[in-house]
Every structure is written in C-alpha cells, then in structure tokens.
Structure 1
Amino acid sequence: MRHHASRHIGIIGEFAKLDVDRSDRTGIPEAILAEGKTVDQVVRTLQHMAKASGVALATRVDPACADAIRRKLRSNFSIDWNEAGRTVVVHKKGLKRTRTGGQIAVLAAGTSDIPTAEEARVTAEVMGCNVLARYDVGIAGIHRLLEPLREIFSNEVSAIVVVAGMEGALPSVVRGLVAVPVIGVPTSTGYGYGGHGQGALMTMLQSCAPGLTVVNIDNGFGAGATAALIANRVADARLKRS
C-alpha cells in the first residue's frame, strides 16, 4: 500500500492494482483470472491477496500454473487446486474459514458441464456458502432430476445455479419447479448450428419461466457469486430475526 488515498488498493509492480476490500464493499471478493496472465503474475497476485485478506481465488488456472502456485506458495499457505473447475484457492495456514449459513445448489445438465459447475461451486464456497452439487441431471433423462430436487427442497436453498450446454433447456425446467431464483449458465458444450454455447444462451434468454437470470457462456464464477450473494443476504436476514 503506497499512501492513505490508496489504502484499499494492493499495488503489485506495474501490472496489478488489487481491490483488496472488494468483498467487504460488495459481498463478492475479487477473483484473479489466470487466463492471459503469466505464471509469475498469477503467483504474485494470489500471494498478495491471500496475505491481505486471508484467502484468494484464481479461476481458469491450467495445470502448469497450478503446479507453480503449489511449489511457490505452499510453505506459507494452504493450496486447494480443483482440476475439474480450474480453480485455485489460496488461504493462510490455520485460518478458520468463514461460514455464512448461506445455502445454494449447483446442478449440471451433463458431465461435460461439470467444469463450469465446479467453478460456480468453489466460488460460492469461498464466499462462505454451503453448496449442494448434483451433476448429470439433464432433460434427456429428466427422471434423474427428481432426487436432486427433493434434496433442494429439504435443504431450503436460497438460489440454484443450473449449468447446461447443447440446447440449454434445464434451467427453464428447474425454474418452473422451484420457488427460489435460478441462475442459468450456458456452456460452450455443443457443436454444429448454435454450437459453442450460442444455442444454450439463446434458449435461456428466451425462457418463459420468470425468475430465471442468465449469465454469459461458461461464466461459472459470475453465477456462483450471484447465487452466494443472494444466499448470504437471506442467511443474514434470518440471523437478525432470530
């Protein structure tokens, strides 16, 4: 930190100005997008953020970058590498993780949608939520959705992230069956006409099920953060009433 006016900004060389207190201000922490950065930039940014706030999240981390993070930071920090979701969470050793009481669910239509779903799950967990994750429950075998829905009802989740590629119909189906906000995430799974997530995105945007909000293609972080923000507000309101 250089001076009083920039006390909330973590300046790293000439390449990064970290919004260290973003979580306190907005309820959502700054995440480090590893894609497009050098390994050294990712490592230094994670280290600075974890030192300043206790925990740091990086998304779209490839295996080589994850290995470098482990080698360079493991002596002073605990490292959680989620290979499927391509996320790395760095936190101070011995730090007790905050649990807010927020409850969300993450559903993935197919196995190919799991990477984006895992990004959403990890993001929500970093924000203190408990996450019920159930995968491969798409509409081609819609009976697979019944048990996850029962669990969702019994756990009283406050928001549901639904990840789907191909035609992207699952979020609309889920929203028509539940009484909580649903965040739809189209994935780039799919090919041919409307492939690479475009067909899924258009389906979700054209949904006739009100209460379905849609994020951009493959944006698991945005969906997980939004769901967690909702759930944390609900948990906070319940705590104040009790």
Structure 2
Amino acid sequence: MADVKSILHEVKAGRLSIEQAEELLMGASRLDYATLDLDRAGRTGFPEVVYGAGKSVDQLIGIIDRLQAHQELVLVTRVSEKQAKQVQEQRPNIQYIAEAGLLIFSKKPLMPKREGYIAVVAAGTSDWQVAQEAAWTVRCFGSETRVIADVGVAGIHRLFHRLEEIRGAAVIICIAGMEGALTSVVAGLVDKPVIAVPTSVGYGANFGGVAALLAMLNSCANGVAVVNIDNGFGAGYMAGMIHRQMVR
C-alpha cells in the first residue's frame, strides 16, 4: 500500500508532481487504452506484466514508459519480432529475447537472488520457445534457471542422462507436446513439485495441445500441477513463487 505521508513529503519537496502523487495514492495509472496496476508488486511480490500480442507499437511504448517510472522491472510477453524492432528503434534500452518473445527492461542485472535452481525440461526442440518463455520469467523472479531440452520419451535414455541435474532442481517445469507423456515419467522419478506445460506441438489428433493438456491433467504421477497450453509464462511465474517461498 502507498505510504501517504512519504508521498505528501515528496510533493512538498517538489520531487513529485500532483499527477504522479495521485497515481501512487490510487495504485493505478490511466492511459487512454490501459489502466496499469502500480501496486501489484506490493501485493503479490512481482510487478505488473504486459501481454504484448494485439497491442500497437505506440500502445506498447506508452505502457512501458509509464511502468518504467514506477517499476524496477518491466516484462512484456508474446511480442513479435516486428513489434520488438519498432519498439527498440524508439526505446533502445529495452532488451528483446527473440527466442522467448519477451521484451524486458530491468534497472538491475537479472542475477539469481537465492540458492538453488529451477529446471525447465522440454521434450523436444519444437517446444523451445515455450521453454524459453518459462526460463526467462523465472530469471525475472530472481532464480537461476537451467534449460534441459530434447529429452522426450521417444528416446527416453536421453532423459536418464540428465536425470541427476533434474533431480537437483528446487522446482521442475516440464514442457511437452504430442501426447504429453514426459510429465508423468518425470514426476514419477523426482521428489520436487512438477509444473506441466502442454504445448500445441503435434499432429492433427494432438488438437492444438488439448491431447497433451488432458494427458497431463490425468497424470497418474503425484505432485503435478498443470498450466494452460503454451503458457510458459504462467509456469515460470508459479515456479518462481514456489522457489521464493522455499527459500523464505
């Protein structure tokens, strides 16, 4: 919650305008096309995140500029290369992670804040973008991330080669398309929480990820939670929250 007395002192000293003070007291900043939640970090421990798909470049820049004034970290998800190029032409201090589809602005380097790491385990290379979205979200939370790719059940020996590294993680994010079988296998081999991410990778009967989603929801292994199809961000967010609580 806003510290009213501190805000009033800042206005009196001329360091805050009345408009800025109003935004801080309301906990929200209004643009013509968006209302930004400035108090999100205070309530949840992580600042407002922007969904970039469908937004114009001018809208993205307007939102980023406003959030930069109030947040140490600004994260924009599902950003196309075309959008990113146009944003960076006007705001070169914004980093674009093309393989994750993310725009990131951070006033401080994204360094691990706590011991341990989160493993992002991907069944195939085709799941790479979802895996990277999850991994970079975890890094924004302040946790180390290790991406372990192409260890799907079609060649299960590949998984066993990396099993000790996976078991050493504090939390495991398991990403798979097709029939989504990797989640049940991994969860049956580890003593850590597993967050499953079904992907839309697969042939026709995969139904755009629904087959993997249902397989993960019906997993016979325990300790599995499932996010929506292709939702690497949601999985990374949940893993970051769990790791933060474990350290506390």
- 1:129 pairs, out of 123, 140, 143, with 143
Q: Is the 8 A contact 2:24 2:38 kept in 1?
A: no
Unaligned regions of 5+ residues in structure 1, if any?
A: 237-242
Output one character per residue of 1:203-225: Cα deviation in whole Å (capped at 9) or x when no partner: 00111111100001011110000
Structure exhibiting the larger radius of gyration computed from Cα positions: 2
Structure-2 separation of matches of 1:127 and 1:20:
17
Provide closer, same or farther for how the CA distance between residues 209 and 47 of structure 1 changes in structure 2, counting only shifts above 3 A: same
Where in structure 2 are there 5+ consecutive unaligned residues?
1-19
Is 1:27 the counterpart of 2:39? The answer is no
CA RMSD of aligned residues (A): 1.7
- Quote the Cα distance in structure 2 between the aligned partners of 1:89 and 1:28: 14
Match of 2:205 among 180, 193, 196: 193
Deviation at 1:39, TM superposition (A): 1.2
Deviations 1:9-58 (A, max 9, x none): 122x2211111231332133321111111111112212222231121111
Q: How many residues align?
A: 228
Matched to 2:53, the amino acid is: E
Tell me the CA shift for residue 228 of structure 1: 0.6
Give the whole-Å Cα distance in 1 for the aligned partners of 2:190 and 2:110: 30
Q: Could you tell me which residue of structure 1 aligns to residue 86 of structure 2?
A: 68
Q: Which residue of 1 aligns with 2:70?
A: 52
SS at match of 2:154: helix
- Relative to structure 1, the CA distance from residue 136 to residue 100 in structure 2 (aligned partners, 3 Å threshold; closer, same or farther) is same
What TM-score comes out, normalization by structure 1 length? 0.88
Structure 1 segments, 4+ long, off by >4 Å, are none
Pairing of 1:72-83 with structure 2 (within 5 A): 72-74=90-92, 77=93, 79-83=94-98
Percent pairwise identity: 41
1:9 aligned residue: 28
Structure 2 residue 114 is the aligned partner of structure 1 residue 101 = yes
Contact 1:157 1:231 in 2 (8 A): no
Alpha-carbon separation, structure 2, partners of 1:28 and 1:157: 22
The one-letter code matched in structure 2 to 1:137 is V
TM-score, structure 2 length as denominator?
0.86
Q: Give the match's secondary structure for 1:216.
A: coil
Report the CA distance between 1:168 and its aligned residue: 0.5
Partner Cα distance (1:216, 1:124) in 2: 17
Matched, 1:204 2:219: no
Q: Secondary structure at the match of 1:52?
A: coil
Superposed, 1:138-149 pairs within 5 Å as: 138-149=152-163
Q: CA deviation at 1:189?
A: 0.6
* Mapped partners of 1:28, 1:105: distance in 2: 20
> Which structure is richer in relative contact order (CA contacts within 8 A, separation 6 or more)?
1
